[in-house]
Amino acid sequence: MTLFEAIVIAVVEGITEFLPVSSTGHMIIASSFLGIEESEFTKLFEVSIQLGAILAVVLVYWRKFFQFTHWQFYAKLAVGVVPALLFGFLFNDAIDAMLSSQAIVAVSLLVGGIVLLFIDKLFPQPAVPRPDLLAAETTPGELIEADNRLTYPKSFVIGLWQVLAMVPGVSRSAASIIGGMQQRLTRNFAAEFSFFLAVPTMAAATGYSVFLKKWDVDGGQQKGYELIMASPDNMKAFLAGNVVAFIVALVAIKFFISVLKRYGFRAFGIYRIVLGALLLALIAAGKL
């Protein structure tokens, strides 16, 4: 992987990680068009640059995120991340096997796009019990405590929806937001809770890939951090990728919230359908 390729993939990650369009699916597509040869490092890279995206969420919502007096907020996040940790541990090999399938990405994009077109009708916006708590200075802890719709069981159900994103092309953001709306959260609150839920989920995935998982390299095995430090090129790609993903994700988060408030999910649904159909056509024609 060249430095240019790393930057392009990082831009794709930063733009798509928090949009309901599937960052993994887009990185697979981008890698295919760039002709990037799949290796253990490229697979590690696509997971590890989530670190930059995580930091973007923390920075954008730092006032809301670091409210330690509202312990229920953190407890409900912990409950929400349990399904992803459990399924990731049990089905890691099966998940890895799907990551190279462009057909799965295409079908997932198409089906997910159709769902997004009708999501607002399937799960209409509930009445907000405390409209005054939607102000910018409101902490998630205050909102969660005031709105008893987000119970611990419902946090767990949202986490189960998030598990669907282990299929490439589904989108972690889309799955968890749909889960939140299905559990009667407002659209905006479901989106923000999805962002917060991303932090422990992605941190766990990145931490496992970098510090615990053993990657097959040249007939031997290396842990992720050893693979990153194995060459100057790998280190440059890792550092540049995370910096670029961080910067781009900062913009993407604010863009998504503004679009969501004004237009809902329709535009993202149309985009997914068009892209999914195009990919299926290219696959059928033998172009991918």
Segment 239-246 mean pLDDT: 96
* CB-CB contact of 29 with 105 (8 Å): yes
Give the position of tokens 């096997």: 97
- pLDDT above 50 for 137: no
Segment 6-24 mean pLDDT: 92
Q: Phi and psi at residue 4, in whole multiples of 5°? A: -60, -45
Among 162-176, 247-261, 267-281, the minimum mean pLDDT is found in 247-261
C-alpha closest to that of 170 among 118, 117, 110: 110
Domain that holds residue 252: 3-284
How confident is the model over 199-235, as pLDDT tens digits?
999 899 888 888 888 888 877 888 888 999 889 999 9
Among 46-55, 182-191, 270-279, the minimum mean pLDDT is found in 182-191
Question: Which residues touch 165 (CB under 8 Å, ≥6 apart)?
Answer: 22, 24, 171, 172, 173, 174, 175, 176
Residue 82: pLDDT band (50, 70, 90) is very high
Q: What is the pLDDT of residue 159?
A: 95
- pLDDT above 50 for 282: yes
Give the position of tokens 């931490």: 207
Residue 198, H or E segment: helix 187-207
Give the position of tokens 């999910």: 265
pTM of the predicted protein model: 0.85
Q: Into how many domains does the chain fold?
A: 1
Q: What is the pLDDT of residue 148?
A: 53
CA 220, 223, 229, 231 torsion-angle sign: positive
